[in-house]
């Protein structure tokens, strides 16, 4: 129970369905950052209040050390290399559906449940009914064996109905806003977090598509492919980041939206993960999503022992190293990999 409306209603629904429910708050991150207060105490108290109202036991699992090692360090090292890692995906892979699952099972649980917008049917991960809230992009690296031990009851509901049902049950989180920003930091932005962890970065040149230096950046690690805001290059058409040279501390930009460097059809993936093991890739048409909430694009996929090659039927914009491409067959999540 994270202290939000989704996990609150999940607990309520499962209790009503006859399950013996215990609420668990995962304490993953408690540090404040200058100018930003970590909301973990507020979230913890909200989760506990809901548990009291539901009359269920409530526990805290302290995973802060493991979280720093598995997720936070992964994020920092990725940015230092010049890529844009996705900590939410690694959190689900390493913490929620591995460490939390194993801890809960050893603590006497038969199953775990979360408030994710996704569906698990017969051990397969499927998109949520509410497509605008679907979270399978972040869940594709779940260990396949965990899918037989997980319940996601609100995956069959629309977000508006989740809030409506929470209000019916007088849950204090019914109108609580959804959390924003990085999964473990909450309200703070990635730039502020990286400065806090790594200190100020060395400024460098911003170079346009014609090779001209048009401005200065505050550190190449802060910029990601397709980024428009935060460049501080004034006047005229907006600029978009097309690439970086970390060795030379350069950021490359363009004002041309159809610039070839911004659009790709062929994508190489590493660390490919099968969410649906042994799926026959010739069995049905495939679609790919190359960033959260991006439009699904028809695609073909070839997977070898060490890597995968994804070819999109239509070019996609701002393909970003470190982010993931996730593969679907209709509503079913087949797998995915990290873009290189």
In whole angstroms, give the CA distance from residue 10 to residue 146. 18
Given CATH 2.30.30.280, say whether it is the number of domain 200-254: yes
What superfamily would CATH give domain 5-168? HUPs (3.40.50.620)
Q: Strands 204-207 and 213-217, how do they pair? A: antiparallel
List 72, 83, 183, 286, catalytic entry = 183
Catalytic-residue membership of 183 = yes
- State if pTM tops 0.75: yes
- Asked if residues 114 and 10 have their Cβ atoms less than 8 Å apart, the reply is yes
Boundaries of every domain in the chain: 5-168, 200-254, 263-339
Residues 6 or more apart whose Cβ sits within 8 Å of residue 288: 296, 297, 299, 301, 310, 312, 325, 326, 327, 328
pLDDT given for residue 181 in this prediction: 56
pLDDT given for residue 180 in this prediction: 64
pLDDT given for residue 184 in this prediction: 56
Low-confidence ranges of the chain (pLDDT < 70): 180-188
List 11, 91, 150, 206, catalytic entry = 91
pLDDT given for residue 291 in this prediction: 93
pLDDT given for residue 230 in this prediction: 83
Given CATH 2.40.30.10, say whether it is the number of domain 263-339: yes
């Amino acid at each position: 129970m994270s202290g939000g409306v989704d996990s609150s209603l999940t607990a309520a629904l499962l209790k009503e369905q006859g399950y013996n429910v215990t609420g668990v708050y995962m304490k993953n991150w408690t540090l404040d950052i200058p100018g930003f207060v970590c909301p973990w105490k507020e979230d913890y108290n909200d989760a506990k209040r809901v548990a009291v109202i539901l009359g269920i036991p409530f526990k805290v699992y302290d995973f802060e050390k493991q979280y720093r090692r598995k997720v936070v360090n992964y994020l920092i090292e990725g940015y230092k290399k010049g890529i844009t890692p996705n900590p939410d995906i690694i959190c689900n892979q390493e913490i929620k559906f591995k460490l939390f699952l194993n801890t809960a099972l050893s603590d006497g649980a038969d199953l775990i449940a979360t408030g994710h917008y996704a569906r698990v049917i017969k051990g397969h991960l499927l998109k949520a009914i509410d497509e605008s809230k679907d979270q399978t992009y972040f869940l594709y690296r779940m260990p396949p064996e965990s899918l037989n031990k997980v319940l996601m009851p609100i995956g069959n509901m629309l977000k508006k109905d989740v809030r409506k049902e929470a209000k019916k049950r007088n849950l204090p989180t019914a109108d609580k806003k959804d959390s924003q920003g990085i999964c473990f930091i909450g309200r703070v932005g990635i730039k502020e977090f990286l400065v806090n962890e790594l200190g100020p970065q060395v400024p460098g040149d911003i170079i346009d598509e014609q090779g001209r230096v048009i401005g200065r950046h505050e550190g190449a690690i802060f910029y990601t492919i397709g980024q428009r805001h935060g460049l501080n290059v004034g006047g005229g058409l907006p600029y978009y980041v097309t690439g970086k040279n970390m060795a030379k501390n350069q950021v490359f930009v363009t004002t041309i939206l159809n610039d070839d460097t911004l659009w790709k059809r062929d994508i190489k993936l590493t660390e490919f993960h099968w969410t649906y093991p042994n799926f026959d890739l010739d069995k049905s048409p495939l679609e790919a999503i190359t960033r959260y909430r991006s439009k699904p694009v028809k695609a073909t996929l070839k997977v070898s022992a060490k890597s995968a090659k994804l070819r999109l039927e239509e070019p996609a914009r701002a393909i970003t190293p470190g982010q993931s491409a996730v593969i679907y067959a209709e509503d079913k999540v087949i797998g995915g990999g990290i873009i290189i």
